Amino acid sequence: IASGALHFGNGEQICLILKVNDWLKTILEETPLSTDQKITLKNDAIFIEATVLNTPQLEWWLLSQADGLEVLEPIALREKIAERLLGAARQYVHKSKVN
């Protein structure tokens, strides 16, 4: 992500802090989000801290991994991801009818 290989573009650098599951921890050990990525274990929880660019592509990646992570910081990004997930979940609350 940090290298721009996935076209994560130019954006403001942020300190991203995530709580992740075991599977995503393994993936991020093999393919770090950034060169300064840190993985910390605390009270049976796994935390990832990395300096990354805040871009739409980062948001896309976070949403694509949503069942394996929780954005803790920055708060504005956490709220934005939560809004998107709630909006998506609302689409499944009411039965859709196919005509």
Which is more confident, 47 or 98? Answer: 47
Q: What is the DSSP secondary structure assignment for residue 49, as one 8-state letter? A: E
pLDDT band at residue 99 using 50, 70 and 90 as cut-offs:
low
- Is there a contact between 19 and 46 (Cβ–Cβ < 8 Å)? yes
Dihedral pair phi/psi, residue 39, rounded to 5°: -115, 125
**DSSP 8-state assignment for residue 31:** S
Mean pLDDT over 76-98 rounds to 90
CATH number listed for the domain at residues 12-93: 3.30.70
Upstream peptide bond of 56 is cis (omega within 30 degrees of 0): no
Is the pLDDT confidence value at 5 over 70?
Answer: no
Whether pLDDT at 75 is above 80: yes
- 21 pLDDT exceeds 60? yes
Structure tokens at 64: 């694509």
pLDDT computed for residue 30 by the predictor: 98
Residues listed for the chain? 99
The neighbouring-strand residues paired with 49 are 17, 38
Domain boundaries, the chain: 12-93
Reported confidence tier of residue 19, pLDDT bands at 50, 70, 90: very high
| pTM of this structure | 0.84
Token pair, residue 7, equals: 């076209």
